């Protein structure tokens, strides 16, 4: 005769085991619902464009929708801080960049996150050189004339960027320091709105990666004076390199990457990394990135380990350079 108490204990234990197994299976089914990728800037800028292209490619691989949430403000640090404090379950990601993870930690004394410890690196995605553009009515015909014009109109020329700590801020800080100019600086919630005001002639110039400016340059709505790269861009073959234009030390390639909150499980990071790997190998993704002047990260640079090491190295490299450039710059006006 079966002891009823023993049977009950066995059934309870079996039920618990089944529950644990079911829970483990559910947890292993990542992703089983929609993922949010936060872009810490207003829509329309390069970070937004990159996130949408890469996110679409990842979505196809993961068989789940990836929505883009634009959380602008404070040079990308507001949205970045939001992701840093999000639940580490793989369903909230950050489309980060040199701005959020290298420039912001240097330029903000009260930053609400540590770019090296509050995120788990997932993968490098894209890099693109910076380019200097001005309103189409700018009288200067080349970079030397442009710098001379800015110096001759000290206090009158205005330059925009996507917020203190954004890559567009970093790019112009370095340009202004190399060119030896001081200007009226206007801070926006993203380089997209800043570019709109350059196109409209409301401000004079902007420095940002080609991913956000190439289309406007080709359309003739802005003037491009130089690209901060060793070679000319295939997308903008008529724009000289900074060295060709007479500013040889101005060389800056701006990278973008995907990050997750600290504590995100390793298997989830591996799944996301594999999805990005496949997305970046997709011919349509590559063509879209290249058409805008960007370069897809090469295979050897796509590991989570590489991205973590890159953030650490870049922070050490750019810290003294940015501090020196920022010390010589004027105060920003908010817009």
- pLDDT, averaged across the chain: 90
Whole-angstrom CA distances from 7 to 4, 166, 326 are 5, 65, 74
206 and 137 fall within a common domain: yes
pLDDT of residue 4: 39
The CATH number of residue 114's host domain is 3.40.190.150
Q: Tell me: do 246 and 262 sit in the same domain.
A: no
Split at pLDDT 50, 70, 90, the class of 335 is low
Q: What is the pLDDT of residue 115?
A: 94
Residue 219 has pLDDT above 80, yes or no: yes
Is there a single domain that holds both residue 176 and residue 213? yes
**Phi, psi torsion values for 245, nearest 5 degrees:** -85, -5
Mutual orientation of helices 191-199 and 210-219 as an angle, nearest 10°?
20
Q: Has residue 330 been placed in a domain?
A: no
Q: Provide the domain limits for residue 73.
A: 35-128+255-323
Going by pLDDT thresholds of 50, 70 and 90, the confidence category of residue 331 is low
CA R_g for the chain:
23
Instruction: Tell me the whole-structure pTM to 2 decimals.
Output: 0.88
Asked if residue 312 has pLDDT above 90, the reply is yes
Is 297 a residue whose pLDDT tops 50? yes
């Amino acid at each position: 005769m079966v002891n009823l108490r023993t049977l009950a204990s066995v059934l309870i234990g079996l039920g618990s085991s089944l529950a644990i197994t079911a829970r483990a299976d559910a947890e292993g089914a990542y992703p089983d619902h929609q993922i949010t990728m936060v872009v810490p800037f207003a829509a329309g800028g390069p970070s937004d464009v990159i996130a949408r292209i890469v996110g679409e490619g990842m979505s196809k691989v993961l068989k789940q929708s990836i929505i883009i949430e634009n959380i602008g403000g404070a040079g990308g640090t507001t949205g970045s801080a939001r992701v840093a404090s999000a639940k580490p379950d793989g369903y909230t990601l950050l489309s980060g960049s040199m701005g959020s993870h290298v420039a912001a930690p240097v330029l903000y004394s009260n930053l609400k996150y540590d770019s090296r410890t509050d995120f788990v690196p997932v993968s490098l995605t894209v890099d693109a050189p910076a380019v200097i553009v001005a309103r189409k009515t700018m009288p200067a015909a080349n970079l030397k004339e442009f710098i001379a014009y800015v110096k001759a109109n000290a206090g009158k020329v205005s330059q925009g960027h996507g917020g203190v700590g954004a890559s567009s801020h970093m790019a112009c800080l370095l340009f202004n320091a190399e060119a030896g100019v001081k200007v009226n600086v206007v801070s926006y919630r993203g380089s997209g709105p800043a570019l709109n005001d350059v196109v409209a002639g409301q401000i004079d110039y902007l420095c940002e990666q080609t991913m956000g400016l190439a289309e406007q340059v080709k359309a003739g709505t802005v003037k491009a004076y130089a690209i901060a790269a060793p070679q000319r861009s295939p997308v903008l073959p008529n724009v000289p390199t900074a060295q060709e234009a007479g500013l040889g030390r101005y060389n800056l390639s701006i990278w973008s990457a995907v990050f997750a909150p600290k504590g995100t499980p390793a298997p989830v990071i591996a799944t996301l990394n594999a999805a990005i790997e496949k997305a970046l190998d997709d011919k349509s993704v590559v063509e879209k990135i290249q058409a805008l002047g960007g370069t897809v990260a090469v295979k050897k640079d796509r590991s989570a380990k590489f991205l973590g090491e890159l953030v650490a190295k870049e922070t050490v490299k750019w810290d003294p350079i940015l501090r020196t450039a920022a010390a010589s710059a004027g105060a920003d006006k908010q817009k």
